[in-house]
Amino acid sequence: MANQKKNFLKVLNKEKPDHIPFWFMRQAGRYLPEYMKLRQKAGGFLDMAYNPSMAAEITMQPIRRFEMDAAIIFSDILVIPHALGQHLEFVQGEGPKLEPVRNNQDISKLNFDNFDNVLNPVYEALSKVRAGLKNEGYNNTALIGFCGAPWTVACYMVEGGGSKDFINTKRLAFSDPQSFSKLIDLLVESSAKYLINQVNAGAEALQIFDSWAGALDAQSFKKWVINPTKRIIDLVHEVHPDIPIIGFPRCAGANYISYVRETGVSAVGLDQAVDTSWAADRVQPLVPVQGNLDPICLLTGGDALKRAAEKIITDLSDGDFIFNLGHGIHKDTPPEHVEQLVKIIRENS
């Protein structure tokens, strides 16, 4: 029994699980009082993410409450630009702020000089969580490593933070595709290296977050989402051929199909805009799917939550399926609603 494959990994391998595995994007974080308590002591977000003991502890917090089938390492997609030498800070209540990279000259300054130094604490945190899961008896909980996809990370690097329309990023991609390619290539190389090291440190599956994949036209989607993602997956699989890689091209719409067919992802995360019966017919025959409850429905709770969760389970649980949200947990979500959702998933498994 102790050596039995974890349910989450079974589904990623297209095997039948004992129950429907679940985890939730952003499952560690501000909606949990135990996280807020640590954060008040720690200082900033990056101080926590780069402190292996603290990052490991925060990763374990939701597991102790809800026993998810997967833990995701507490870090951020923006540690890659940071490790490449771009200035990064998280301003309380405002999100990430980076020194923008706007042209070929800015891109040329990025480098690997400090790469391992910056990221070693993340690898150390992964090893600690892997040992912690075992020590605390969570033998059925797998450990997920992650990175941002090159397109999404480039959006933050070029805009210097969040954006609604990505004008600077798209303008660079349309007007100077050579320089933009150079940035994307650097992100492919660094992200593959980062993911490979995360597996070496104990990650049992990987997820590539492409939060802004839905912002691109079909040609650009192929160029800046599909191709770089495929290259990362090929590089990781050269070293770790069996590691499952989940892609999450958020809001990709009909492009979900070409993404799945062409990138080589082992599974795909669905955002809440994807119709689950469409996904059952068109996506699930190709790869296992993960998703896709609206995080605001989870925040709302009650009957609406029950109905929405059961509909997702009805539509998707005949095929290879991992329950998740369509995007990260909102910070104002009552933990009791997460408990309610976990109960619904377990009762319908």
Q: Please choose, from the candidates 140, 133, 145, the residue with its C-alpha nearest in 3D space to the C-alpha of residue 64.
A: 133
Comparing CB distances to ligand CP3, the nearer of 155 and 280 is 155
Comparing CB distances to ligand CP3, the nearer of 8 and 146 is 146
Smallest gap, in angstroms, from Cβ of residue 58 to ligand CP3? 8
Q: Could you identify the residue written with the tokens 């009650």? A: 302
Task: Give residue 221's identity as a one-letter amino acid code.
Answer: F
Phi-psi region of 93 (alpha: psi -120 to 50; beta: other; left: phi over 0): left
Comparing CB distances to ligand CP3, the nearer of 208 and 280 is 208
156 catalytic? Reply is: yes
CA distance 205 to 202: 9
* Selected binder of ligand CP3 within 17, 96, 247, 269 (CB under 6 A): 96
Q: Please choose, from the candidates 204, 183, 8, the residue with its C-alpha nearest in 3D space to the C-alpha of residue 81.
A: 183
Q: Write out the DSSP string of 143-212.
A: EEEEEE-HHHHHHHHHHTB--SS-HHHHHHHHH-HHHHHHHHHHHHHHHHHHHHHHHHHT-SEEEEEETT
- Per-residue x/- marks for ligand CP3, 42-61, CB under 6 A? ---x----------------
Angle at 208 between CA 247 and CA 237, to 5 degrees: 85
Which residue of the set 30, 106, 176, 185 is catalytic? 30
Q: Which residues pair with 324 in a beta bridge?
A: 292
Cβ count within 10 A of residue 280: 18
User: What are the tokens at 246?
Assistant: 């989940």
The three-class DSSP label of residue 291 is strand
Stretch that binds ligand CP3, among 20-28, 126-134, 185-193, 236-244 (CB under 6 A): 20-28
30 catalytic? Reply is: yes
Chain residues 203-262 in contact with ligand CP3, contact rule CB under 6 A? 209, 211
Q: Does 39 bind ligand CP3 (CB under 6 A)?
A: yes
Q: Could you identify the residue written with the tokens 């160029």? A: 223
Comparing CB distances to ligand CP3, the nearer of 39 and 128 is 39
Q: In the 3-class helix/strand/coil scheme, how is 76-97 assigned residue by residue?
A: CCCHHHHHCCCCEEEECCCEEE
282 catalytic? Reply is: no
* Selected binder of ligand CP3 within 26, 65, 97, 230 (CB under 6 A): 26
Comparing CB distances to ligand CP3, the nearer of 169 and 280 is 169
Comparing CB distances to ligand CP3, the nearer of 30 and 237 is 30
Q: Does 202 bind ligand CP3 (CB under 6 A)?
A: no
* Selected binder of ligand CP3 within 11, 12, 20, 28 (CB under 6 A): 28
Comparing CB distances to ligand CP3, the nearer of 67 and 318 is 67
CA distance 293 to 178: 39
* Selected binder of ligand CP3 within 264, 301, 319, 328 (CB under 6 A): 328
* Selected binder of ligand CP3 within 74, 138, 256, 323 (CB under 6 A): 74
CA distance 226 to 268: 13
Q: Could you identify the residue written with the tokens 């993602």? A: 229
303 catalytic? Reply is: no
Q: Report which residue's Cβ sits closest to ligand CP3.
A: 211
Q: Does 323 bind ligand CP3 (CB under 6 A)?
A: no
Q: Please choose, from the candidates 24, 10, 21, 30, the residue with its C-alpha nearest in 3D space to the C-alpha of residue 331.
A: 30
Chain residues 119-148 in contact with ligand CP3, contact rule CB under 6 A? 146, 148
Q: Does 294 bind ligand CP3 (CB under 6 A)?
A: no
Question: Residue numbers of the site for ligand CP3 (CB under 6 A)?
Answer: 25-30, 39, 45, 72, 74, 76-78, 90, 95-96, 146, 148, 162, 209, 211, 328
Cite the active site residues: 26, 30, 39, 76, 156
